[in-house]
Amino acid sequence: MTVNRLTRRLSGDDRIELFRSVREAVGIPYFRVMESATAPTVRVEGADKIMLGSNNYLGLADHPAIRQGAQDALDRFGAAITGSRLLNGTIDLHLELEAEIAAWHGTEDAMVFTTGYQTNVGTISAVVGPGDLVVVDSAAHASIRDGAALSGATVRTMAHNDIGDLERILGEARDDAGATLVIVDGLYSMEGDIPPLREISDMCRRHGAALMVDEAHSLGMFGPARTGAAELFGVHEYVDIRMASLSKGPASTGGFIAGSADMLDTLRVHARAFLFTTSGVPAAIGASLAAVRLIRSEEGAHRARRALDNASVLRTGLAENGIDVGALSPLPDGGSTATPIVALHVGDDVVAMNLWRLMFDRGVFASAALYPAVPRAGALLRLCVMASHTDEQLRRAIEIISESTAMARV
């Protein structure tokens, strides 16, 4: 390789050197190699682990109906479409899936992107621009932040779930400014908490702001039709842009926007992340269609209930053993709920990595969230339940996590 300013910079990055030294010395929580299908128990680098690090909340990743949907699409269309949706990359399965999503959400239209990341980046950068204001929750996903930055709009960050801060930011917006778009998650991927969507929706309408809700982690879980947190709070009709990923609950890959015909045609014309990328592979589209249909069925309702019940079992068991798993999420009726993401708060990055390793060696796979994915001194282990976890697996996981936590504190 030639030597120049760029290559010298790459060879002298302190963070890369730290990454390499830790990886070689003790192993890190990242880039571990999975050797079996995503299920409650997964083969990881030669050993079976209870999987608590997957977004497979509904347990559909290895479901026979989802496998069959993928297989049928593979048999019919082959391995890849090799073109963008604009050109030769649209197949009839796309149209079936988009019609199913629109009917499910009760919207005029829907559009499927190749990945969830591209869905946010492409949508936000297409609908707002210079002169507009985007208000983003401080815990919003990186794809939301990147889309807002690419748009050229003014970006303001509101304190996490802080209605007072949102009101302050919206109140400071000039009357002669362009459009205002507020973006929140339906279920935050690190802490596993649900935002106060009723108050956020009311605030947006009061100030004439549009609202976008990213339901990537809440799709399939909440609301009578299981479209997400906006439906749970009864504000789905006031959400201008309804986004979700197909790679969590639906156990495939991709993302979608559901909304008005004007919104979706705008994206078809202006969303560069949609126009200039190859369409998702047919197997992913077939799997997504099968998953959406299953989620809308009685089996889907049962799996959502089971996932939330399992989350409650895990949270309660850990809390009873003195482990900090945060607070339950408030509901609009005054109650509260567990969510399929249980945050085990640690604080220190090094302690969190040590705890992750203790759990991994004893048979539990979790996800470690360290700075800058979380605030400084906010390290946590992210535990995700599946509808398909058994009571025995959860009891064993609680035992391992509790014992490992005690060892990590020594």
- Is residue 214 domain-shared with residue 360, that is, in the same domain? no
Considering 295, 324, 346, which residue would you say is the last residue of a domain?
295
- Domain of residue 82, CATH code: 3.40.640.10
The strand ranges marked E within 23-64 are: 41-44, 47-51
Residue 237 placed within a domain: yes
User: 207 and 308, same structural domain?
Assistant: no
Q: What is the largest CA-CA distance in the chain?
A: 64
Q: Please indicate, yes or no, if residue 18 is contained in any of the structural domains.
A: no
Task: Determine the average pLDDT of the residues in 159-174.
Answer: 95
Number of domains in the chain: 2
The answer to whether residues 133 and 222 belong to one domain is yes
Q: Is residue 3 part of a domain?
A: no
Three-state secondary-structure class, residue 344: strand
Distances (CA, A) of 2 to 5, 7, 155: 10, 8, 39
**145 domain residue, yes or no:** yes
Q: Write the secondary structure of 275-300 as one string of H (helix), E (strand) and C (coil).
A: HCCECCCHHHHHHHHHHHHHHCCHHH
Any domain includes 23: no
Helix ranges restricted to H, 245-390: 261-270, 272-275, 282-295, 298-320, 349-362
Are residues 289 and 354 both part of a single domain?
Answer: no
Pairwise CA distance, residues 55 & 221, whole Å: 12
Q: Is the pLDDT of residue 25 over 90?
A: no
Looking at the structure, tell me whether residues 48 and 168 fall in a common domain. Answer: no
Report which DSSP code applies to 33. P
Residues 113 and 256 occupy one common structural domain: yes
Give bridge partners of residue 341 from the DSSP assignment. 384
> Where is the domain boundary, 279, 295, 311?
295
Q: Is the pLDDT of residue 18 over 70?
A: no
In this structure, the answer to whether residues 126 and 170 fall within a common structural domain is yes
d(CA 407, CA 405): 5
Residue 14 is assigned to a structural domain of this protein: no
Average pLDDT taken over every residue of the chain = 94
The owner of tokens 């999503």 is 101
Given pLDDT bands bounded at 50, 70 and 90, which one contains residue 28?
confident
Give all strands of the β-sheet with 47-51 in edge-to-edge order.
41-44, 47-51, 364-365
Q: Strands 379-384 and 367-369: what pairing?
A: antiparallel
Same domain, 386 and 291: no
Q: Which residues contact 386 (CB under 8 A, 6 or more apart)?
A: 40, 51, 54, 56, 57, 58, 59, 307, 310, 340
Using a pLDDT cut of 70, give the percent of the chain over it: 97
Handedness of CA 301, 222, 356, 255 (dihedral sign): positive
Give the bridge partners for 40, in sequence order.
none
- Which pLDDT score is estimated for 173? 87
CATH of the domain at 347: 3.90.1150.10
Beta bridge partners of 113: 255
Together in a domain, 101 and 188: yes
Residue 267 lies in domain? 64-295
Has residue 22 got a pLDDT over 70?
A: no
Within-domain flag for 1:
no
Query: What confidence score (pLDDT) does residue 376 get?
Result: 86
What is the DSSP code (8-state) at residue 328?
P
Last-in-domain residue among 230, 261, 295: 295
For residues 259 and 337, membership in a common domain is answered with no
Could you tell me if residue 8 is inside a domain? Answer: no
Tell me, what's the pLDDT at 296?
98
Same structural domain for residues 307 and 160?
no
286 and 370 housed in the same domain:
no
Written in H, E and C, the secondary structure of 86-105 is CCCCCCHHHHHHHHHHHHHH
Give, as one character, the DSSP assignment of residue 34: B
Counts of helices then strands in the chain (DSSP H, E): 15, 15
Q: What is the pLDDT of residues 263-315, one digit of tens each?
A: 999 999 999 999 999 999 999 999 999 999 999 999 999 999 999 999 999 99
